[in-house]
């Protein structure tokens, strides 16, 4: 596997670490359980990074030196792809010919490396986009920066080069065909999963006690990277409208923002704090840094509802995680979220980003405990259908088909995946 711009070892929720990190970690672990050896190549960002780290039995992370360890943002990395590719090819050259059976690249930067590596080694290239420039640019938040033409060109090249393209949803597969002329024989749909061992229903009162939250509060949680794409500002504006309409809610409303600045949000890391002050809701908004999965599960269990006002989401793993903990989700009706969230059953889907519409959608979750309880139970049942084991099995089938071998061969012999 190739993950150039973000390491599976990094903490999701800040910088460039997010759902893709979770995806790679969980998928790699489950593939290893299917007897598929996985090596993940990622860029070293610290001089102390060990050359190789065992993430789990059968899963090795390789740090490749490509450019300075610090000070590079994602937009700087195309200039380092040659150095990164050199490091990948040099590693392979130290093994016997045919060491790797298949390359699975994640995100377009990795696809550029995978394109060359797969051709050099004479193996198939499987690619997962995670996000697409043309899709993001069609749904930009106000004031957000569009993805550059160079990325569009790079993505087009990767689609042309890939043997198979794994899409999270049927909608994403259709977008690959529409925007990038992906062929039907290239496309495969495999839903991502959720770690049901970590994210599961629990004691809300105990979780709130551990997090210092009031037991009687309506807790509307945002968890993710703080950037215009994720639209935490829409939540704050909606809360301001909600409190204007129902002033009595202020006494028992808490809005935690769990995450760190990322992407274009790095330019104005305090903008959300300032917005809360301008809207007069600083008393109900609480800012918290990113946390590990066990602590994040506590936040989900403590919440009345998770709020995801994103402008674009390839799938929305956070929505699945929250639902697996028995928490309903109020989400934008974009990307893969209509698959992750069942509108009116496990949560609410909102069309557009008008704060008034969002306030209207959030109001029942702040005032109707029965609705929260029923949708939370349905949410847990829904999320239980999305285990990572199923995602890994589906991905293994894609590998098997790409290698022109029957699926049973994958669990009967060791394969090596780069």
Residue list, annotated binding site for 1D-myo-inositol 3-phosphate: 5, 16-21, 74, 107, 131, 151
Helix, strand, coil in percent for the chain, rounding step 5: 45, 20, 35
Rounded to 5 degrees, what are φ and ψ at 214?
-65, 140
Residue list, annotated binding site for UDP-N-acetyl-alpha-D-glucosamine: 11-12, 19, 225, 230, 291, 313, 321
Which residues is 223 bridged to in the sheet?
Answer: 258
Tokens of 185: 């024989």
Residue list, annotated binding site: 5, 11-12, 16-21, 74, 107, 131, 151, 225, 230, 291, 300-301, 303, 313, 321, 327
Whole-number Cα distances in Å, 81 to 61, 86, 119, 154, 279: 18, 8, 16, 12, 44
Tokens 């749904």 belong to 139
Q: What is the largest CA-CA distance in the chain?
A: 70
Cα separation, 294 vs 275, whole angstroms = 30
Residue list, annotated binding site for Mg(2+): 300-301, 303, 327
Q: Helices in 282-354 by DSSP H: which ranges?
A: 293-302, 317-324, 337-340
- Complete DSSP assignment for 57-102: TTEEEEEE--S-SSS--GGGGGGGHHHHHHHHHHHHHTS-TT---B
Cα separation, 255 vs 239, whole angstroms = 8
Which residues is 176 bridged to in the sheet?
Answer: none
Rounded to 5 degrees, what are φ and ψ at 319?
-60, -40
- The residues, any chain, with a CB within 8 Å of residue 244's CB and separated by 6 or more, are none
Which residues is 104 bridged to in the sheet?
Answer: 126
Nearest CA-CA partner of 220 in 341, 372, 3: 372
């Amino acid at each position: 596997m190739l993950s150039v711009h973000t390491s599976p070892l990094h903490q999701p929720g800040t910088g460039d670490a997010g759902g893709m990190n979770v995806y790679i970690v969980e998928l790699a672990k489950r593939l290893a359980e299917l007897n598929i050896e996985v090596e993940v190549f990622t860029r070293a960002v610290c001089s102390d990074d060990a050359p190789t780290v065992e993430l789990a039995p059968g899963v090795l992370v390789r740090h490749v030196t490509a450019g300075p360890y610090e000070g590079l943002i994602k937009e700087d990395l195309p200039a380092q792809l040659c150095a990164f590719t050199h490091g990948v090819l040099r590693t392979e050259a130290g093994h016997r010919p045919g060491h790797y059976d298949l390359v699975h690249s994640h995100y377009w930067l990795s696809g550029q490396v995978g394109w060359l590596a797969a051709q050099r080694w004479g193996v198939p290239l499987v690619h997962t986009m995670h996000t697409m420039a043309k899709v993001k640019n069609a749904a930009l938040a106000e004031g957000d920066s569009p993805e550059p033409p160079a990325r569009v060109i790079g993505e087009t090249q990767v689609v042309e080069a890939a043997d198979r393209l794994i899409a999270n949803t049927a909608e994403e597969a259709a977008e690959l065909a529409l925007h990038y002329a992906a062929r039907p024989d290239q496309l495969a749909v495999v839903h991502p999963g959720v770690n049901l061992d970590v994210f599961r229903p629990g004691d809300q009162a105990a979780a709130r006690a551990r997090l210092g939250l009031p037991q009687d509060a309506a807790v509307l949680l945002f968890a993710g990277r703080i950037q215009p794409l994720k639209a935490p500002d829409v939540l704050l504006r909606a809360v301001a409208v909600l409190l204007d309409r129902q002033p009595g809610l202020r006494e028992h409303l808490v809005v935690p923002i769990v995450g760190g600045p990322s992407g274009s949000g790095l330019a104005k890391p305090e903008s959300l704090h300032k917005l809360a002050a301008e809207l007069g809701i600083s008393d109900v908004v609480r800012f918290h840094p990113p946390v590990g999965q066990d602590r994040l599960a506590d936040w989900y269990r403590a919440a009345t509802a998770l709020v995801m006002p994103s402008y674009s989401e390839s799938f929305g793993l956070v929505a699945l995680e929250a639902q697996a903990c028995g928490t309903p989700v109020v989400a934008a009706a974009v990307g893969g979220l209509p698959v992750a969230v069942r509108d009116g059953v496990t949560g609410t889907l909102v069309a557009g980003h008008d704060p008034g519409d969002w306030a209207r959608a959030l109001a029942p979750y702040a005032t109707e405990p029965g609705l929260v309880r029923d949708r939370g139970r349905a949410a847990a049942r829904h999320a239980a259908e999305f285990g990572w084991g199923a995602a890994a099995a589906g991905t293994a089938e894609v590998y098997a088909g790409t290698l022109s071998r029957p699926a049973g061969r994958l669990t009967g012999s060791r394969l090596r995946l780069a």
